A = this chain, B = another copy of it.
Amino acid sequence: MTTIDTTNELNQVPSTHVSWKPGTLIYPVPAALVTCGSETDGYNIITISWIGTICTNPPMCYISVRPERHSYQMIKRNKEFTINLTNENMALATDWCGVRSGKDHQKFKEMNLTPVMGEKVKVPYIKESPLCIECKVTQIIPLGSHDMFIAEVVNIMADSQYIDPKTDEFKLSDAKLIAYSHGHYYKLGEEIGKFGWSVQKKKS
């Protein structure tokens, strides 16, 4: 095993960094519209940035939700939700659904978002979203301000306008996804490279 003895170096480097209060600063992250609810409960939309993939195979993900949020009980009860990725056209609705509560608002209607019933979950996805990820909850872990819902991805509803008819590839890069970073929403900008570009041989 090759290991790096950096102990000498470690002591010689003058630090440019200062200690900062522990906080939630992992960025950029998605600002996804998570849909939930049931015919009995009604349906709701909640904007979530504490969200991500936790396992590749089987495909699994998590969302973290405060127990006081309107969507929390719906997800806990029905054990299903859909993650709707958000693009530039959906930016205003994304922010609004994060600020307003389903207790007081009919979010689909007020934001002109179109609910379409999912295929593998009894939750509508958002037609305006380029990619909608249907999930079933397998575990709930209380952590403090938030509970983490761990879920399996059971199906994906992909907007066919982004599917290349020749290769059958989903071109997520054409979907103009937005990112959230420390209180601000951003467009994705210039592409820097593809996964693996740092070790690719140049074509001669």
Contact = CB atoms under 8 A, between A and B. Distances in A.
Given A22-B59, A26-B83, A3 B181 contact: no
B30 A29 contact: yes
Contacts of A102: 2
A61 interface: yes
Interface in A162-195: 163, 170, 172-173, 177-195
Contacts of A112: none
A55 to B, nearest CB: 4
The 10 A-B pairs with the shortest beta carbon distances in the complex, nearest first, are A3-B42, A189-B189, A52-B52, A187-B189, A55-B143, A20-B156, A95-B198, A17-B157, A96-B198, A57-B145
A22 B99 CA distance: 30
11 contacts: A4-B106, A17-B127, A18-B163, A22-B154, A25-B172, A28-B188, A58-B143, A95-B195, A173-B181, A183-B194, A184-B191
